[in-house]
A and B are shown apart, each in its own frame.
Chain A
Amino acid sequence: MKTRFLLPVLAITLLTLSRFKCIEECESYTDTPSHITDTGLSTVPLDNRKELPVVLGPDAQGYLQAYGFRLSMSTELDDSLGGYNECAKYYLDPRIAAIHVFTRKPIPGVSDPDVSGSFRYVHTIDRVPTYLTMPETASQIMLDWEDGVPNRYDFLLVEPPATEGWYQFELRMTMQDSSIVSTVTDSIYLK
């Protein structure tokens, strides 16, 4: 009779012990710096004609009125820290001070290569997207940044050039220590 209780008791004991072990493993988190490098940044073009932006395939044309790009950002650790640790809490160091977008190809009628004013960062709260201007973006990206996962940020060209043609943009992040990291979008034909 008593043996039928043995299995559940054993299972509960194992579960309890494993839980204690897990808690014990991550009892304290260590704040660990991570940083952004050029190689950690990449972009893909977006088609935002419909409800939500979708990634364009290779060699696809873009849409002047609904073009954007998605920035992927992964961070790196200092060599001295070894690999990623499950019980570490990562933060960006140095932090992002400012974000600008520059055009790499001349835009008819636009003399300043800094076209940050034509782009907006898409910040979504409770499924409702809002646009932030580039000066507002750096601090928001710092808030939106999550450690341990690939971070993706959408930038949309809200004031498109007047004419169709080949376009290419560079996203440049100025860090708080004045260093600059940047990534360049693929050249794309927008019409």
Chain B
Amino acid sequence: MSSKKQYFGLLFLYLFMAADAATAQETRHPRGAYARLGLGYAPVISAPRFSTLIDPLLSLPDDNNSVLYEVQWQSRRHWGFFFQFSFINISASIRKTFTEQLERDFPNDYVLEEIKDVPEPYSHGESPVQGLIGGSYAFDAGKWSLQPRIMFGGTTFNPLSVDVALKRRNSNQLSILSVKPTNTLEDGSVSAFTFGLGTLVQWHLWRRWSIFGMAEWTTFKPDLLYSYRLVNQVDGSETIQTFGSSDTRFAHVIHAGAGLTFRITRK
């Protein structure tokens, strides 16, 4: 089956469930305010690319888990408004990935590295965070509620800088490689406007408590520059390059998670 047919199949199933839910009995998810706490998996399925050496330093790897907080106001007419905040905790070892790439790029050298902001016990930098506001529409049916949603907001992440010594094998030759983001904010982070689509399925458990599952897709395009400076320590010669992400791809994040919902307001 082609991928287009698969997408149409999924869309049809989704619409069928929504219609079925809408015609069913009275909802257990009435008008009011809700708070959600969830855990999930949030791979960055596509990130801007600079060069293979710099890419791991962006702190946007494809293996992350996430913690999600959300507050929602649900109106009587099914429309909802929400604020969502999620930490994308990096699971992958940025240090390991970067070092392996460096060893491939400089096979005749020993790599003596120091990744700033990445203390040894941890193997990655700061977690990217997403803050999103959005609107949703609830298809309610008894204990079930299906809520497609649209979101806008920002993503902040922390690209890393490195100073690496490249010591030539069987020789006293030494070079220092510095790779640094050049247009970050004062605290070293980068923020980008973010757009997203998603859906949330909720099932009423008991009194004010429900469980939910959600799937979201968010995208952003960070404008980032990286400088690459290689200095030969013996003769002082330098190689300087600047890499920009402005012409490169958007970053896409898939977020799948589940958690608990608590209805803050009374019926």
Report if B160 contacts A (CB, 8 A). no
Cβ distance B139 to chain A, nearest Cβ, rounded Å: 57
Chain B residue with Cβ nearest A129: B165
Cβ distance A70 to chain B, nearest Cβ, rounded Å: 14
Give B158-199 interface residues, CB cut-off 8 Å to A. Answer: 163-165, 167, 169-174, 176
Cβ distance A69 to chain B, nearest Cβ, rounded Å: 12
Give A148-191 interface residues, CB cut-off 8 Å to B. Answer: 156-160
CB neighbours of B174 from chain A (8 A): 129-131
Cβ distance B50 to chain A, nearest Cβ, rounded Å: 22
The CA-CA distance from A126 to B119 in the complex, in Å, is: 12
How would residues 144 to 164 of chain B score, 1 for a CB under 8 Å from any chain A CB and 0 otherwise? Answer: 000000000000000000011
Report if A71 contacts B (CB, 8 A). no
Contact among A51, A66, A126, A128 for B171, CB-based, below 8 A = A66
Q: Is the CB of A128 within 8 A of B164?
A: yes
Q: Is the CB of B169 within 8 A of A49?
A: yes
CB neighbours of B233 from chain A (8 A): 120, 130-131
Cβ distance A85 to chain B, nearest Cβ, rounded Å: 37
Give B215-237 interface residues, CB cut-off 8 Å to A. Answer: 233-234
Cβ distance B95 to chain A, nearest Cβ, rounded Å: 13
B contact residues, total (Cβ < 8 Å):
17
Report if A48 contacts B (CB, 8 A). yes
Report if B114 contacts A (CB, 8 A). yes
Chain B residue with Cβ nearest A133: B236
Chain B residue with Cβ nearest A53: B172
Known contacts A128-B163, A128-B165, A131-B233; decide if A157 and B172 are in contact (CB<8 Å): yes
Cβ distance B234 to chain A, nearest Cβ, rounded Å: 5
Q: Is the CB of A51 within 8 A of B234?
A: no
Report if B110 contacts A (CB, 8 A). yes
Contact among A51, A127, A156 for B172, CB-based, below 8 A = A156
List chain A positions with a Cβ less than 8 A from chain B. Answer: 48-51, 63, 65-68, 120, 126-131, 156-160
List chain B positions with a Cβ less than 8 A from chain A. Answer: 110, 112-114, 163-165, 167, 169-174, 176, 233-234
Beyond the given A49-B171, A129-B112, please list 9 additional residue pairs across the A-B interface where CB-CB is below 8 A. A50-B110, A68-B172, A120-B234, A126-B163, A128-B112, A128-B113, A128-B164, A128-B176, A158-B234
